[in-house]
Structure 1
Amino acid sequence: MTNTPSADEQSSRCYAIVPAAGIGKRMGADRPKQYLELDGKTVIEHTLDRLRNFSPIEQVVVVLAPGDPYQAAIPGLQEPDVIRCDGGEERCHSVFNGLQRLHKHARDRDWILVHDVARPCIRRQDLQRLWDCLQSHEVGGLLGVPVRDTMKRTNVSGDIVATVDREQLWHAYTPQMFRYGLLRQALAYVLERDELVTDEAAAIEAFGYHPRMIEGASDNIKITRPEDLTLAEFYLARQQVAQ
């Protein structure tokens, strides 16, 4: 029997938050990685295009570094369905700022989809899978891929101290999608305790809930090093051929 979403679930709106206030030190570039060129456009333009073309998303909040000098040259940041706001010291502060910016728009049961600006290869099929799988979920969840390699734990000197069982271990990706009210409370909870969580799921977990893990495509890579730009360009070209 197929579960039909309730009227309340069907009326839940969706907003995206894109934390883009980082400077990407590991890229060693003359500007933040989101403004580097990738297949004829900047990384941030690719990411915004993917999100803005996904119909459930009503508006996208892009969280930028205060005084960001590059944003004015990005056409996608000037669109009426894009809201800009200032970021904070860490990613979790930036996402919380984005949630605060939405407080006049979003209701507690609306969905918030948080996606890394440096993941421009997110597939529409994965966005749809995340959306479909979570419609009747009270908490939310995230995309990821199962760990396939042998996992090792080392000490501070780099010596291996244990081989870790990879069963039920996952690489956590984005998007991560949670109810607005719950995510806002969870982030407020960890920030009050000075816990600098590295993703939204960690805040939800610290607040006592269990997000759903949903398998996505492995080409949803995060650009962190110079060689990742070449790999992302390859994946974008392959995705275009497959369409």
Structure 2
Amino acid sequence: MPRHYAIVPAAGSGSRFGAEKPKQYLDLLGRPLIYHTLAALTAHPDIDRVWVVLSPDDEWWSHYDWSQLGAKLETVRCGGATRAESVTNGLKAAAMVAGDDDWVLVHDAARPCLSAAMIDAMIAELASDPVGGILAVPVADTLKRADAEQRVAATEPRDGLWQAQTPQMFRYGLLGAALDKCRDVTDEAGAVEALGHKPRLVRGDATNLKVTYPADLVLAAMILRGRK
């Protein structure tokens, strides 16, 4: 049976957040934000190993105790200048154990509210899928396109539009080949699409938010408290 592995690219600085340290290390309920992200992945029984890909000059990781996350967690200091480079380097770190048919779940470091139920849904729905897929939610809000003066230039139809989330789950061999050929992408699905494949959309929910701005951190705390 194919195994399941996870890669968490965490080499970014989180500049849009505007904090003095990378946002993955901001406090969230007494732990660094990324702790909650990694806890969700390492605690899942179907995930065999989790690689967190850090920047080579990351000075924050060693300030915290990660021992409660267990033996599944591995750190590699090979983060690149882009997400695609970091994920590619994470795939190389996994090469000693991962086979081409094994599954890799790539998850944002700044999505700390991932639940076991979301992972369960991905693994179940994609188990026999020839391509793989991503967690996503249908766009609910009206979309406006802005002009150069930040005025509404057009209202865009939202029918059929989904907002991509993570994890994004693909076979180890396919994902590696896709990223080798297409590095100029903002997510793994984009690289797989560039090869002509159509990833499956697995419906998630809005609680799987990405912390990008300070208000998102408040919402994440509320979500995690509510689950407890």
TM-score under structure 1 length normalisation: 0.90
Q: 1:60 aligns with which of 50, 62, 87?
A: 50
The one of 206, 212, 219 aligned to 1:218? 206
The yes-or-no answer on 1:34 pairing with 2:24 is yes
- Report the Cα distance in structure 1 between the residues aligned to 2:60 and 2:151, rounded to whole angstroms: 43
Q: Identity of counterpart residues, as a percentage? A: 46
Per the TM alignment, residue 30 of structure 1 is displaced from its structure 2 partner at its CA by 1.7
In the TM superposition, 1:82-101 aligns within 5 A as 82-85=73-76, 86-101=78-93
Q: Answer yes or no: is 1:80 the counterpart of 2:77.
A: no
Offset of residue 80 of structure 1: 2.9
Q: 2:182 aligns with which of 186, 190, 204?
A: 190
Compared with structure 1, are the counterparts of its residues 181 and 105 closer, same or farther at alpha carbon in structure 2 (3 Å cutoff)?
Answer: same
Could you tell me which amino acid in structure 2 is paired with residue 31 of structure 1?
K
* Deviation digits for residues 111-157 of structure 1 (CA, Å, limit 9, x no counterpart): 00000010000111111001100000011001111001111222333
* 1:24 Cα offset (Å): 0.7
Task: Tell me, yes or no, if the aligned pair for 2:42 and 2:70 is still in contact at 8 Å.
Answer: no
SS in 1 for 2:50: strand
Partner of 2:189: 201
User: Aligned match of 1:46 in 15, 29, 36?
Assistant: 36
- Kept in 2: contact 1:145–1:216 (CA 8 A): yes
Which piece of structure 1 moves more, 78-87 or 215-224? Answer: 78-87
Residue 79 of structure 1, CA deviation:
4.4
1:69 alignment partner in structure 2: 59
**Equivalent position SS for 1:95:** helix
CA contact (8 A) 1:45 1:74 kept: no
Aligned mates of 1:79, 1:63 — CA distance in 2: 17
Task: Answer whether contact 1:12 1:110 (CA < 8 A) is retained.
Answer: yes
Any gaps of 5 or more consecutive residues in structure 1?
Answer: 1-10
Instruction: State whether structure 2 residue 130 is matched by structure 1 residue 138.
Output: yes
**Contact 1:144-1:214 within 8 A present in 2 as well:** yes
Q: In structure 2, what is the equivalent of residue 228 of structure 1?
A: 216
- Mean Cα displacement is larger for which, 76-85 or 53-62? 76-85
Distance in 2 separating the partners of 1:119 and 1:208: 28
* Structure 2: segments with no counterpart, 5+ residues: none
Structure 1 counterpart of 2:10 = 20
Q: Which digits, 9 at most, give the CA deviation of each residue in 1:54-75, with x for residues without a partner?
A: 1111110101011211111233
Q: Which amino acid aligns with 2:218?
A: T
* Superposition deviation, residue 213 in structure 1: 0.4
Deviates more, 1:12-21 or 1:83-92: 83-92
| CA deviations over 1:162-215 (Å, ceiling 9, x no partner) | 221101101100011000000000000113xxxx20000001001110000011
SS at match of 2:66: helix
The whole-number CA distance in structure 1 between the counterparts of 2:154 and 2:215 is: 30
Aligned counterpart for 1:122 among listed residues 93, 110, 114: 114
Count of residue pairs brought into register by the alignment: 226
How far, CA to CA, are the matches of 2:49 and 2:225 in structure 1? 27
Residue type matched to 1:120 in 2?
Answer: P
Paired with 1:29 and 1:162, the residues of 2 have a C-alpha distance of 34
User: In the alignment, is residue 161 of structure 1 matched against residue 153 of structure 2?
Assistant: yes
